[in-house]
Amino acid sequence: MKRFVPFGALGAGVIIALASSASAGIIFEVESNDSLASAQFVGTFSPPGGAIAIDGSLGSSGSDVDWYAFDITGPSSVLLAALAPVGDSTTIDGQMMLVSASGDVIEFDDDDGPGLLPAFFVQNLPAGSYFIGVSGFDDIVFSDDPVGTDTLFDGLNNSGAPHGEVFQYKLSLAINVVPAPASATLLAFGGLVVSRRRRSSH
Ligand SMILES: [Ca+2]
Ligand SMILES: [Ca+2]
Ligand SMILES: [Ca+2]
């Protein structure tokens, strides 16, 4: 029995780390969330990361924009996809963007998800606070490159008319947070000490 104690102690540490940092589950949209200032906060992600689904809708005004905010405590890979009820993704047309705390548009997508819905994958995102924007085509028109111009969703097309999209969606957000190098080194060193002590006692 005694030889398993170090493994038990290490296992408990890992479980505590997971419980205190992982974010998971479903979050329901709360309006109003139409601007960065009123974005709905959906969680802080620490190593090892987590995954959530956001249940939301672009409302009947036809010019609804939904903003969500999240924090990451270390460099992260982020996977974002907008999903729709079965059968609807060929007729509904969403757009999505990832924006830094300073308003820099890091990524934008129109149609890379199922049907005409958006999806994208971002690697090496530095620790910090970020915004996810969801809107409808043609809030951003094909000729615009918001990653270059930092144009944010405003619910309107370039003629000043509502984008016109009204639909429900599930936004799937998965984040892999890389532990800080100092912590990883400390953890490895601690494990090494434990295993050497075990060997020397037998
Ligand atoms: Ca909404
Ligand atoms: Ca909204
Ligand atoms: Ca617009």
Output the CA 107–ligand 1 centroid distance in Å: 20
What is the pLDDT, as a whole number, of residue 137? 97
For the chain, 202 residues long, give each residue's pLDDT as a single digit of tens.
Answer: 344 434 344 444 444 344 444 467 999 999 999 999 999 999 999 999 999 999 999 999 999 999 999 999 999 999 999 998 766 667 899 999 999 999 999 999 999 998 899 999 999 999 999 999 999 999 999 999 999 999 999 999 999 999 999 999 999 999 999 987 765 555 555 544 444 455 444 4
Radius of gyration for the alpha carbons in the chain, expressed in angstroms and rounded: 21
Ligand closest to Cα of 139 equals 3
Output the CA 66–ligand 1 centroid distance in Å: 5
Output the CA 67–ligand 1 centroid distance in Å: 8
Query: Which H or E run contains 133?
Result: strand 128-136
- The domains of the chain, with CATH numbers, are 20-177 (2.60.120.380)
Output the CA 55–ligand 1 centroid distance in Å: 9
120, 153 Cβ separation under 8 angstroms: no
Output the CA 142–ligand 2 centroid distance in Å: 22
Alpha helices (H) along the chain: 5-21, 146-149, 181-200
Output the CA 66–ligand 3 centroid distance in Å: 13
**Which residues have beta carbons under 5 A from ligand 2 (an ion)?**
33-34, 64, 66
Nearest to 99 by CA among 135, 69, 54: 69
